Amino acid sequence: MATIKDIAKQAGVSSATVSRVLNYDETLSVSEDKRKLIFEIAEELDYMPPRKRNVGKVAKKLKIGLVHWYTMSQELDDPYYMSIRLGIEKMCYENDVEIVKIFKPDEYDFQKLESVDGFIAIGKFTDSQISKIYERSQNIVFVDSSPMEEKFDCVVIDFEKAVTGALDYLWEIGHRKIGYIGGRETIGPDHIALGERRESVFKSHMMALGAYNEAFVHIGAFLAESGYRLMKQAIQSGGETPTAYFIASDSIAIGALRAVHECGLKVPKDINIIGFNDIPTSKYTVPPLTTVRVHKEFMGETAVELLLERIIKRRDISKKVIIPTALQVRESTCKV
């Protein structure tokens, strides 16, 4: 039977670090990559904590399929989805539920998921992909999307309240020229374009305030490199520059912060910036990033609770759970 020492040896960390990670010690300072590695090694070695070793075996250990719309490398570029997945893995670990993971399902064979009791699908999926999942189990929970709400459970956030709340905050502290930097996504092998709620809510709310300016909107990808490039273009275009930007993800915002600095301007003196997601590095940027906090791990935990309810209690009426967000004000914004 695997021990904490076995996990520590493979992960290249101390036994104390492994113990604190597996017990979800929030005071421990450890990188997301290392935390992820420890959980994956524990799962691979089939580690069982001492408190569970003497518990009588249940009739059948549940097994769920975790389908991720990203590849592993894409997930590393966007910690938002990694945090959701870690929340799922934490709840499964605590409930002794086995997980079979598939990243970017177009690139993998769904046959390995024949014997699962249900699915959690992270991200957005085509109708064809959803059909393939449904063929293997009717117990499905979607996280960060809500296809066919009358049929499937889902865990989402209220983008409208999140975006309007951030914009109203900028308005209240005196900003009238507010820009937007964001990305757009596609799904499936045919790269079907998806609508972007943050962008559409930004446009409608700024129009309602009588302050929408198409020239202040810049669209690229959900990457730091894209934020860097778009912010540089906006500043160096020769046109009017907004006093504040709402940016669709913290990853994009981190790139934008660097661009502002390289252009000889200062945040927040010259340009205010608000991000979205509150990834772990946001509090350590220079200056620390004001951002919309999304409770990502809790979204993952909630998805597991819904799926277990579907499987164990045989609930057949779908549920949609909307997780609230909160604006985390830091030093990248200030009064005009």
Return the domain boundaries, the chain: 4-157+295-324, 159-293
Work out whether strand 186-187 and strand 325-328 pair parallel, antiparallel, or are unpaired: unpaired
Residue 288: predicted pLDDT: 97
Note whether 307 and 139 are within 8 A (CB): yes
Note whether 104 and 71 are within 8 A (CB): yes
Q: How many Å from the N-terminal Cα to the C-terminal Cα in the chain?
A: 61
Cα 87 to Cα 229: distance, rounded to the nearest angstrom: 32
Residue 251: predicted pLDDT: 93
pLDDT per residue rounded down to tens, the chain (336 residues)? 678 888 888 888 998 898 888 887 767 878 878 888 888 888 788 787 765 554 444 446 899 999 987 777 777 777 888 899 999 999 999 999 999 888 876 545 566 666 889 999 999 988 888 888 888 889 999 999 999 999 999 999 999 999 999 999 999 999 999 999 999 877 766 666 677 899 999 999 999 999 999 999 999 998 999 999 999 999 998 888 999 999 999 999 999 999 999 999 999 999 999 999 999 899 999 999 999 999 999 999 999 999 999 999 999 899 999 999 999 999 999 998
* Neighbouring residues of 158: CB distance < 8 A, sequence distance ≥ 6: 322, 324, 325
What does CATH list as the number for 4-157+295-324? 3.40.50.2300
CATH class of the domain whose range is 159-293: alpha beta
Residue 164: predicted pLDDT: 97
Note whether 335 and 171 are within 8 A (CB): no
Residue 48 identity: M
Specify the pTM: 0.77
Sheet holding 118-122, edge to edge: 98-103, 63-68, 118-122, 140-143, 153-157, 320-323
Residue 58: predicted pLDDT: 43
